[in-house]
Amino acid sequence: MQKKIIALAVAGLASTAAFAQSNVQIYGVVDVGYTRYSSSDTSALKSRNALDSGLQSGSRIGFRGTEDLGNGLKASFVLEYGIGVDTGAGLTGPARQSFLALSNSYGTVAAGRQYTPQYGLVSKLDPFGAGTTGDVTYGRGVYGMGAAAVPTTIRLNNLVAYVSPNFSGFNVIAGYTADGLGDEDNTAKGAKSADAKIWAINPNYSNGPLFVGLNYHQVKIDAAGYKDRVWDLGASYDFGVVKLAGVYGQIKNDNVGVVLLGAPGGDNSKAKQWMVGATVPVGAAGNVLVSYSRNKIDSDFAAADGAKASKWALGYTHSLSKRTNLYAVYSKISTNTEAEGSFSVKGGAAIGGGADDYTSGLNLGIRHQF
């Protein structure tokens, strides 16, 4: 349960007058564990044994608040930053999330740095919740996110998003950003913009044990002649004794020479990707997690055509309380020659190969949420 705090504990976030009318919370995750990564795809790396932070969920600290503006209108904000439990690093990198929103009976409009609708859909269906070495998403997995050239994109800058109310289980998330990967640049008159313009739509339906979701988004950079079209369709059903989930998607890129999930692209390059998984309850406190995912490249460029990567993962989580759990996960990635070195169970794989290309991973850890 996230803990409410008095205004003085976060006085730097807003004025005293604002706190008199607001509900402000501090929340976070402390996650740390043992990792072993081995079997470098290019045989360039020794096995790695380490104590790492943020394995199941990124360790973080965040602030969120709401204010009732009257007549059914509310203002809210989220400011969230990563932390390194293993090294003591504080507020690592850019904000994980940072946005301001207005809500009423017609829905919510939020502006700032936010998660992509695609990531929201895929992480909901992934039995590992896009966490641990079992993560299905590219970086630790094989399922590409965001864009062909930047397949680890799960958050967007400058995003204006709309979340509809729930209508008998159905809702829609839509968003647009004038530059989702950076900050909007100045563009000379007569020149094409170098900004990554992205729009997305994500309808979802949930009814008891059934969930179905669809994502579609486009990425366009005029100056580079770059364009992606991405879609994902997924569903899950909870039978009680087992929860089954699956997702299928495609990333289509029309730009000659772009790197597409590890393989050089060409005209009409397409990544076809899918995942099937299951969550099996064990007693009142445990869950066995299993997934299998695959990615295949079709391209007019002969050197890229047929690149394949697949991954299977097996794990177990055990709740010690509502906020604290233990986890143990093992995963393995397999690639063919065209995709060699471009995927990793650790994260940080360089597109085209060359960094952190481990194909076997083990995580043993503990996570506390507050």
Helices (H), 257-315: none
pLDDT surpasses 90 at 149: no
Rounded to two decimals, what is the model's pTM? 0.90
CA 164 to chain centre: 21
The Cα 196–Cα 192 span in angstroms is 11
Q: What pLDDT is stored for residue 354 in this prediction? A: 54
Q: What is the DSSP letter of 126?
A: S
- Asked if residues 5 and 24 have their Cβ atoms less than 8 Å apart, the reply is yes
Q: Is 301 helix (H, G, I), strand (E, B) or coil?
A: coil
- The C-alpha atoms of residue 359 and residue 352 are separated, in whole angstroms, by 15
Is the CB of residue 175 less than 8 Å from the CB of residue 203?
A: no
Please give the pLDDT value at position 54.
Answer: 96
Residue 120 tokens read as 């929201």
Whether the predicted pLDDT of 330 surpasses 90: yes
Which pLDDT score, from 0 to 100, does residue 89 have? 87
C-alpha to C-alpha distances, 146 to 122, 155, 218, 260, nearest whole angstrom: 11, 9, 9, 12
Q: What is the pLDDT of residue 16?
A: 38
**149: alpha, beta or left, given left = phi > 0 and alpha = psi -120 to 50?**
alpha
For residue 122, pLDDT beyond 80: yes
Q: If you average pLDDT over residues 317-340, what whole number do you get?
A: 95
**pLDDT for res 21:** 55
Average pLDDT of 107-130? 98
Nearest in space to 27 (alpha carbons), one of 76, 56, 59, 61: 61
Pick the CATH number of 3-369 from 2.120.10.30, 2.40.160.10, 3.40.50.80, 3.40.50.720: 2.40.160.10
What values do phi and psi take at 223, rounded to 5? Answer: -65, -30
- Rounded percentage of the chain residues whose pLDDT exceeds 70: 87
Q: Is the pLDDT of residue 19 over 50?
A: no
Q: Taking Cα atoms as reference points, which of 369, 272, 291 lies closest to residue 330?
A: 291
Sign of the torsion formed by the C-alpha atoms of 65, 69, 70 and 74: negative
Query: pLDDT per residue over 230-274, tens digit each?
Result: 999 999 999 999 999 999 999 998 765 555 555 555 556 889 999
What are the boundaries of each domain within the chain?
A: 3-369
Q: How far apart are CA 165 and CA 20, in angstroms?
A: 28
